[in-house]
Structure 1
Amino acid sequence: MARELPARPGRRSPLQRRPRWWSELPLLIAVYAAYSAGRLLARGGKSDAVTQGLTLLEWEKHFGINFEHPLNRLFTSTPALGIPADFIYASLHYLVTPAILVWLFRRRPRNYRAARTWLLLSTLLGLIGFTLVPTCPPRLLDAAHGFTDTMEQFSSYGWWGAEASAPRGLGGMTNQFAAMPSLHVGWALWCGVMLWLHGRGVAARTFAVAYPLITTLVVMGTANHYFLDAVGGALTMAVGLLLTRPALRLADRVRSRIAAGAGEAGSDGSDRKSTIVSGGCQTSAGEHIPGQRTSSASPADGTPAATR
């Protein structure tokens, strides 16, 4: 049975080490690449997506929660609201979330791992939603349903065209039917929670509340999402949060077993090395050169073996 190696003073175990950027960056890139590729591949049929979108709209009308209708009319008729909303939709989603991640990594390393895991799990859940429930956003419904695509209306002010936030000419590389759930809302909610829990000062708390609310209004006012898409984004984040602790425990068990296996291998190697080097020999009194070692079983008089 391998003996347990004593911990080296001043050295952290693998589970206590601060996250390293060279291990975190590939992980984040891989998950975002999977998210983007999933949006591209999980296109779904247009008829199914339209049916799903109309079903959501009917539910909202039945319960009187189709808030996207009045907001879209307001944004369409008021360029001072519609144009900034288009810029917010097309940019902040891809700027604020990475900025919060970097801030947590640098300033709140003890909270970073759980926060990152929550975000990544929720993103993967959103990808599953895009795949299983392709949903046509309000802007792509027939004009008879009363929606105007503000990003198409005000496209001359920005880099986007008629295909949501994608740059002109690249709309075909995105999934236009990835409305349910709204990860714009989900990621904004994550950013708000992180700032509320770990930020300092009134400005951080104010932004923590305002950013998710403004994002929710923007995704509806620009006709990119239904209100129920926003609810779906919040629920996706809630499920991701529930899965975070079990996922971290599983990751810790795996890393502990890997570390234990490496420690056991190191212990066996060090034992073998100790047996070979010592060999039952000891240094005689007054020895100055390597060739004068005697066996530990030599007579107690200390006489070197070569002179006996």
Structure 2
Amino acid sequence: MPHTETPGTEATPATRLRWWTELPLILLVYACYSAGRLLARGDVAGAVDHGLAILRVEKALYLNAEHPLNRLFTREPWIGIPADFWYASLHYLVTPALLVWLFRSRTVHYRAARTWLMTSTFIGLIGFTLLPTCPPRLLDARHGFVDTMAYYSSYGWWGGEASAPRGLGGMTNQYAAMPSLHVGWALWCGVILWRHGGGTRTARTAAVLYPLVTTVVVMGTANHYFLDAVAGAAVMGAGLLLAPFVTRGADRVRAQLLPRVAPVTADSPGADSPIVSAGCQTSAGERIPRQRESRFPAGTEPSSSPSDAGEGAPAPAR
């Protein structure tokens, strides 16, 4: 008897996901993101102008927290060095780790969370393309910023060019500062931990501290302005709103590409068979009972007609 699913227990898209399809998808999206960052370098003069414009707006709004934080990180190695490690590593470790954890332990929530993250990342890529921005650390020294990644480079694997490993700085776009996806991805991690971390005090504390500390770190290391961090949070908000539409669009494309099972009709081979298995339904949805099997050998079945019962029947014994 063919397997039929009980109504209300249909497999959701998340439960049909497999790691061998998810991993190439994530790698493809990240490759597009990295390639887009390189292609969207823009001209340096324009990026510097954008950075200075952001700095002027922040000073006018008294939001310029980058200078005091950067001086603190430069003056205190016990703060600056861990902050550089935080910036150079957790962005690339915590986010993938949470994706894997969701896939394995919170599968029903994985697809929505992954789509949200990817949609926001592509929005950020549009920002890098349209608004290349020079980070504070690359501004002229007279603006008062110190590149802590270069200042403490002897303590880590990075060089003087962003958080790339030493010697590979040319493979990254140093003018992709607006929006800050360090902050955006950290905010995504915080929301995921808060919503799906089991409600424990540890999970919720980490959910709040991780994006907040990341925001402080990106400013103290002079990698981002405060408004970059605000833009990173806004990008995640936009991605959250657009993710359901992206999911529905992906479902429509999948429905068009995957083969469909043809319904059984009267013209289908075997549709006129006198014996139909139990549980089979017609195209109209009516259930056809299975034909009762005879307990007598072929040709010896007793007649069920009243007239036949009286002809040639042996007389009852007296």
- TM-score, length-normalised on structure 1? 0.83
Is the 2:145–2:222 contact (alpha carbons within 8 Å) kept by the matching residues of 1? yes
Q: Which has the higher contact order (CA 8 A, sep 6+)?
A: 1
Q: Secondary structure at the match of 2:176?
A: coil
Stretches of structure 2 lacking an aligned partner (at least 5 in a row): 276-292, 299-318
Q: Which amino acid aligns with 2:239?
A: G
Q: Which amino acid aligns with 1:114?
A: A
* Alpha-carbon distance between aligned partners in 1 of 2:177 and 2:224, rounded to the nearest angstrom: 6
Find 2:5's aligned residue among 2, 6, 9.
9
RMSD between superposed Cα atoms in Å? 2.5
Aligned residues, how many?
A: 277
Q: Which amino acid aligns with 1:79?
A: P
Give the alignment of 1:235-254 within 5 angstroms: 235-254=234-253
In structure 2, the partner of 1:214 is 213
**By how many angstroms is 1:19 displaced?**
1.9
- TM-score, length-normalised on structure 2? 0.81
In structure 2, the partner of 1:297 is none
- Would you tell me which structure has more helix in proportion to its own residues? 1
Is the 2:38–2:172 contact (alpha carbons within 8 Å) kept by the matching residues of 1? yes
Deviations 1:89-135 (A, max 9, x none): 00000000001111111111111111000000000011111111100
Is the 2:194–2:207 contact (alpha carbons within 8 Å) kept by the matching residues of 1? yes
Which stretch of the first structure deviates more once superposed, 47-56 or 20-29?
20-29
In structure 2, the partner of 1:21 is 19
Change (3 A) 1:9 1:87: same
Between Structure 1 and Structure 2, whose CA radius of gyration is higher? 2
Q: Which amino acid aligns with 2:203?
A: A
In structure 2, the partner of 1:233 is 232
Q: Which amino acid aligns with 2:171?
A: M
* Alpha-carbon distance between aligned partners in 2 of 1:143 and 1:53, rounded to the nearest angstrom: 14
**Structure 2 residue 168 is the aligned partner of structure 1 residue 170:** yes
Stretches of structure 1 lacking an aligned partner (at least 5 in a row): 1-5, 288-308
Q: Which amino acid aligns with 1:230?
A: A
Give the alignment of 1:56-205 within 5 angstroms: 56-200=54-198, 201-205=200-204
Q: Which amino acid aligns with 2:212?
A: L
Deviations 1:165-194 (A, max 9, x none): 001110001101000000000000000000
Change (3 A) 1:98 1:271: farther
Is the 2:14–2:108 contact (alpha carbons within 8 Å) kept by the matching residues of 1? no
Deviations 1:22-61 (A, max 9, x none): 1111111110000011111111000000000000000001
